[in-house]
Structure 1
Amino acid sequence: MLIEVQAKLPGENNRDYSYRVIKEAIMSLRLKPGQSLSEAEIAEALQISRTPIREVMAKLREEHLVEVIPQVGTYISKIKPTLIEEAIFVRIILEKEILKQSCISFPKNVLVELKNNIAHQELLLDQKGMEQEFHKLDKQFHFLIFQGNNKENVWDSIIRLSTHYNRMRLLAEMNLSFSDAILQHKAIVQMIENKDVDQVETIVREHIIEPTKLWEDLYKPNSPYVEYFDLTKKMPVF
């Protein structure tokens, strides 16, 4: 069981605690797509009763992260092309609009935060095994753009819809490189700073659509990760 036992956060009850650590294990790929889960083992590992674990499983099932096969067992959901495609569709539409808005007006203090975020991203480039840290900084970078436009809840909605997409992205970052993403983040900041709204379409395509073309090797039949995917439907091509 690859669930990291962590200290509870202040005011965190057993249900919230188990939800946080189980979901983090799924999103970080420590719990692998397709892997079976045992409520009893999780409860024992986290030293809590099975009742909150059962409630958490129901919630994760609603988020398409856990699947229950009657009389067989509970499993981590494999990465589904249709859910990736939906997340990309939403991100393209909403990030275009938020970047256009950012080019019209954007707080200087948040622009400074974006630059600091990129500086931290660059520190990870020469270090091994930093994909998880980069992934966190990447999500924070995009959150800051929405926050700078007072649209934090919109970003939260994107994140809820992006569980399969973000697992795919993390897998790609673990096997490819995130150096191009950093260059694109720099270009986004420069575009906002220069109020260059004409570049929005191009940069969204480069940052969201183009990387998907590098994913194919990860789900080919000879890939070590092919079992992570539900390939009953073709992976999307954008």
Structure 2
Amino acid sequence: MVQNAGAGAAGVQTQGGALRRTSTSHELYKRLRDRIVSLEFLPGAPLSRTELAASYGVSQTPVRDALQMLEKEGLVVVFPQSRTEVTRIDLAQARETQFLRMSLELEVVRTLCIRNATPAVERAARLVQLQHTALTVDADLERFAALDRQFHYQMFEDAGVLDLWELVQSRSGHIDRLRKLNLMDPGKAATILVAHQEIVTQMRQFDVAATQEAVRRHLSGTLAQVEEIKRAHAGYF
């Protein structure tokens, strides 16, 4: 049985949607990963190969392959001939990924500032405006979170280092789940919005040091709250 974040224990038949015939194990891996990172599949939840195969309309072979990819990333643990479970959040791994992300993103904004990359700054500003609308007008936290990811992705793309974004994402399952829990806290989304506005303000001045400091404060926010997050969601760690 697969556990659903919104309704306790529930089967996956109504959750997955059949995959296209041309889909691969990697496509299934991406879909399952999204459900783990979004906390639809909670830390500690059992995953049934049989149910997943039925839900997505595939044999158990691509399910097995997808679960192996998730295990390599540390998001599930597979007990041979027994069961598969979603892993609990690994704070050591989250901190390592955060170190990598911080190092890269500081260099990304430095590159954009040195280049006087006005078009990149205006793309970032537009995404912040969309975030403001999603939060204050639509009250759509899921769209807000998607725009949050797009904000950072766009800067990597504009700096010409999109492969490095993909590298970070391939290791980000634990820190992303931690961020998801943090986003649930009252006021967190507003804090993110203010941080993004500050980053854009400093980038418009092409001030390397001030932009880097704004990024550093922003990216440090979740780990600074980790003890509070653990107390609120003890069973996830």
The verdict on a shared fold, with TM-score over 0.5 as the criterion, is yes
Equivalent residue number for residue 236 of structure 2: 228
SS in 1 for 2:183: helix
Change (3 A) 1:24 1:218: same
Instruction: Give the drift of 1:98.
Output: 1.1
Report what 1:185 is aligned to: 196
Cα pair 2:112 2:120 within 8 Å, conserved: no
Greater alpha carbon shift after TM alignment, 91-100 vs 11-20? 11-20
Question: Which aligned pairs between 1:7-22 and structure 2 lie closer than 5 A?
Answer: 8=19, 12-22=22-32
The unaligned stretches of length 5 or more in structure 1 are 230-238
Mapping of residues 27-66 of structure 1, within 5 Å? 27-66=37-76
Report the Cα offset of residue 31 of structure 1. Answer: 0.3
State the AA in 1 paired with 2:121. Answer: L
Q: Gapped runs of 5+ residues in structure 2? A: 5-11
Tell me which moved more, 182-191 or 13-22: 13-22
2:153 to 136, 139, 143: 143
Task: Determine the C-alpha separation between the residues in 1 that align with 2:167 and 2:227.
Answer: 27
Rounded Cα–Cα distance in structure 2 between residues aligned with 1:106 and 1:67:
46
| Alignment partner, residue 215 of structure 1 | 226
How many angstroms does 1:95 deviate by? 1.2
Q: Does the CA contact (< 8 Å) of 1:106 and 1:148 recur in 2?
A: no
The SS at the match of 2:58 is: coil
What does 1:62-211 correspond to in 2, within 5 Å? 62-70=72-80, 72-126=82-136, 130-176=140-186, 177-211=188-222
Scaled by the length of structure 1, the TM-score of the pair is 0.86
Q: What CA RMSD, in Å, does the superposition of the two structures yield over aligned residues?
A: 2.1
CA contact under 8 A between 1:14 and 1:48: conserved in structure 2? no
**How many residues in Structure 1 have an aligned counterpart in Structure 2?**
225
Report the Cα offset of residue 124 of structure 1.
Answer: 2.2
* Residue identity matched to 1:203: A
TM-superposed CA distance for 1:113, in Å, is: 2.0
Pairwise CA distance, 1:195: 0.6
CA distance in structure 2 between the partners assigned to 1:162 and 1:216 by the alignment: 19
Provide the C-alpha distance between the structure 1 equivalents of 2:180 and 2:204, rounded to a whole number of angstroms: 28
Which of structures 1 and 2 has the larger relative contact order (alpha carbons within 8 angstroms, sep 6+)? 1
Q: Secondary structure at the residue paired with 1:161?
A: coil
Percent of aligned pairs with the same residue?
26
C-alpha distance in structure 1 between counterparts of 2:169 and 2:135, whole Å: 25
Partner of 1:233: none
Contact 1:131 1:170 in 2 (8 A): no
Maintained 8 Å contact 1:106/1:149: no
Tell me if structure 1 keeps the 8 A contact 2:110–2:212: no
CA displacement at 1:99 relative to structure 2: 1.2
